[in-house]
Amino acid sequence: MQILFTDTQPKNVRLNARIVNKGDSLADLDPALSEGSDIARFKGNPGQVFEGFVSVDGALSRVAIAGAGAADAADRRLNLERSGAGLTAKYLRSGETEMVLDLGFAGLNGDDAAAVLTGVFLRGWSLDQYRTKLAQEKKVSLQTVHVIGAPEGTQAAWEREAAIAKGVEFTKKLVTEPANIVYPESFVAMCEEAFAGTGAEITVLDEAQMTELGMGALLGVGQGSARESRLLAIRWNGGEKDEAPTVLVGKGVTFDTGGISIKPAPGMEDMKWDMGGAGAVAGGMLALVSRKAKANVIGVMGLVENMPDGNAIRPGDVLTTMSGQTVEVLNTDAEGRLVLCDALHWAQEQYKPARVIDFATLTGAMIVALGNEHGGVFANDDTLADQLLGAGKATNDKLWRMPIGPAYDKLIDSPIADMKNIGGRWGGSITAAQFLHRFIKPGTPWAHCDIAGMVWSDKPGHAHDKGATGYGARLIDRLVADNFES
Ligand code: BES
Ligand code: MN
Ligand code: ZN
């Protein structure tokens, strides 16, 4: 979707929209609209949209009024996004190709207006490319939003927001594309294309290089797949030369069948988005790079496909990780931690980071605990945990703190190796986090975000249609902006 700023009312655009707060007077409008909105019980609630038609100089004008809630609401920013998203949701496939959006109402400042535009823009993303028989009236029609009445500072604020939104869209695309399109090598290729010319440095390790480094756990997961595994690093040096980087690590299982411990057939298609952690890291990096963040940040993604075949790892196999620690694989479906442990170890060796944060659709148990409202954050450092929780609140990519500790750690001791890859029946998300913790060097602040419940949604939200939510890209951008930028 294209967002254009203009000073004069564009001619020949039928659809005209404005944003109002809860309870705002609409007395300046035609009575058919002001009284009509009353009759329709339009209150200006966040995301609520009223539509009316009026005749202007003999031509019919379609007028939309979107609610942004109370001006002093605690979640004002989110409500503003909802108002913009409400407009897009209503008109995206309406047949209208253009909309004029007047942001000169509701007492908006430049940041507020940019938040509205963020909602307008993000709610517009969809992947319709494979729906070749889609009826004409169901196709996306809305292409251009002409912004008038923009408060001072809107364009500058939107420039920054648009860079971040680009990252969110990239995350959505990576997550939405099926596993025959997004597999380790193509994931890398998509990133190479997205980051080309941005100044970000890309490093890719192939299987031979990972074998050389001894990444037996990551390679073990990939060895049942016809697709080759990859380790991808995207580096952005926007900070001071001597400043130790923030390292983000993503689980990129491009499809998770479970391997020999195969998953049941119903719902297995969901496991195309088991690369949502890597998708969040890639999108978060694109946001940072696009707005030229003043920080040193590196995104590391472990990319593998978990398949069962004659060469696949078996339950009972013992793998040697790059760290030298050994793992008894009791369940080949607990593969994410096997991918992450080598990626985490490599990232620490390679970059000597100031802090490490990983993102992973790691456990179904996380969804049992927190549903689809919060990701879980496990950390060995309270400051880093608080920074993540704060960024989550600010962006609505919400997180909730979960515990770790030695008593949980004991649950993954193995009689034949240094550890096993599953704990018992209880606390499955915590034992997974404990596993990862064993690969963090003492003294390195680390946080693990289990986002299994967050990357995909069966219903539309304020910044997405049903499907990929884009979770994590904005969280990462905000974490860096608020805490690690000079
Ligand atoms: N990718 C799954 C976790 C998952 C499940 C993410 C549902 C999103 C939705 C992960 O690899 C997995 O299979 N975990 C197992 C771990 C178990 C074998 C200890 C699980 O959660 O069942
Ligand atoms: Mn699995
Ligand atoms: Zn998985």
Cross-strand partners of 85: none
Cα(96)–Cα(143) distance, integer angstroms: 8
**Are 207 and 215 contacting, i.e. CB atoms less than 8 angstroms apart?**
no
Distance 411 CA to ligand 3 centre (A): 20
What residues act catalytically? Answer: 263, 337
Query: What CATH superfamily is the domain 2-152?
Result: Leucine Aminopeptidase, subunit E, domain 1 (3.40.220.10)
**Are 2 and 145 contacting, i.e. CB atoms less than 8 angstroms apart?**
yes
Domain ranges of the chain: 2-152, 162-483
Distance 123 CA to ligand 1 centre (A): 29
CB of 342 shorter than 6 A to ligand 1: no
Summarize pLDDT for 273-325 with one digit per residue, the tens: 999 999 999 999 999 999 999 999 999 999 999 999 999 999 999 999 999 99
Start-to-end CA distance of the chain, whole Å, equals 32
Question: How much is the pTM?
Answer: 0.98
Cα(176)–Cα(36) distance, integer angstroms: 40
Work out the number of other CB atoms within 10 angstroms of the CB of residue 73: 15
Summarize pLDDT for 448-483 with one digit per residue, the tens: 999 999 999 999 999 999 999 999 999 999 999 999
CB of 364 shorter than 6 A to ligand 1: yes
Backbone torsion region of residue 470, taken as left when φ is above 0, otherwise alpha when ψ lies between -120 and 50, otherwise beta: left
Cα(7)–Cα(322) distance, integer angstroms: 60
Cα(324)–Cα(414) distance, integer angstroms: 15
Record the tokens describing residue 407, joined without a space: 């008593």
Complete edge-to-edge strand list for the sheet that includes strand 318-320: 318-320, 326-328, 419-420
Closest CA to 151 of 2, 5, 48, 3: 5
Distance 379 CA to ligand 2 centre (A): 22
Ordered per-residue pLDDT tens for the chain, 486 residues? 999 999 999 989 999 999 999 999 999 999 999 999 999 999 999 999 999 999 988 899 999 999 999 999 999 999 999 999 999 999 999 999 999 999 999 999 999 999 999 999 999 999 999 999 999 999 999 999 999 999 999 999 999 999 999 999 999 999 999 999 999 999 999 999 999 999 999 999 999 999 999 999 999 999 999 999 999 999 999 999 999 999 999 999 999 999 999 999 999 999 999 999 999 999 999 999 999 999 999 999 999 999 999 999 999 999 999 999 999 999 999 999 999 999 999 999 999 999 999 999 999 999 999 999 999 999 999 999 999 999 999 999 999 999 999 999 999 999 999 999 999 999 999 999 999 999 999 999 999 999 999 999 999 999 999 999 999 999 999 999 999 998
Record the tokens describing residue 395, joined without a space: 């962006």
Task: Identify the residue whose C-alpha is closest to ligand 1 atom 13.
Answer: 333
Please state which CATH class domain 162-483 belongs to: alpha beta
Atom of ligand 1 nearest to the CA of 366: 21
Pairing of strands 296-306, 230-237: antiparallel
| Residue 439 Cα to chain centre, angstroms | 25
Pairing of strands 59-67, 49-56: antiparallel
Work out the number of other CB atoms within 10 angstroms of the CB of residue 309: 12
Summarize pLDDT for 410-424 with one digit per residue, the tens: 999 999 999 999 999
How far, in Å, are 117, 207, 339, 440, 461 from residue 210 at the CA level?
44, 5, 12, 19, 40
Atom of ligand 1 nearest to the CA of 261: 18
Choose which residue among 263, 333, 338, 339 to substitute to test ligand 1 binding: the one with the highest number of ligand atoms within 8 A of its C-beta: 333
3-state secondary structure of 180: coil
Instruction: Write the DSSP string, 392-404.
Output: HHHHS--EEE---
Contacts of 84 (CB under 8 A, 6+ apart): 19, 66, 115, 116, 117, 118, 119, 120, 121, 123
Task: Identify the residue whose C-alpha is closest to ligand 1 atom 22.
Answer: 364
Atom of ligand 1 nearest to the CA of 273: 8
Complete edge-to-edge strand list for the sheet that includes strand 355-360: 201-205, 230-237, 296-306, 246-256, 355-360, 446-450, 375-379, 399-401
Distance 102 CA to ligand 3 centre (A): 45
Instruction: Write the DSSP string, 26-86.
Output: -TTS-HHHHHHHHHTT----TT-EEEEEEEETTEEEEEEEEE---TT-TTHHHHHHHHHHH
Distance 436 CA to ligand 1 centre (A): 15
Work out the number of other CB atoms within 10 angstroms of the CB of residue 447: 25
Contacts of 445 (CB under 8 A, 6+ apart): 354, 355, 356, 379, 380, 381, 383, 384
CB of 304 shorter than 6 A to ligand 1: no
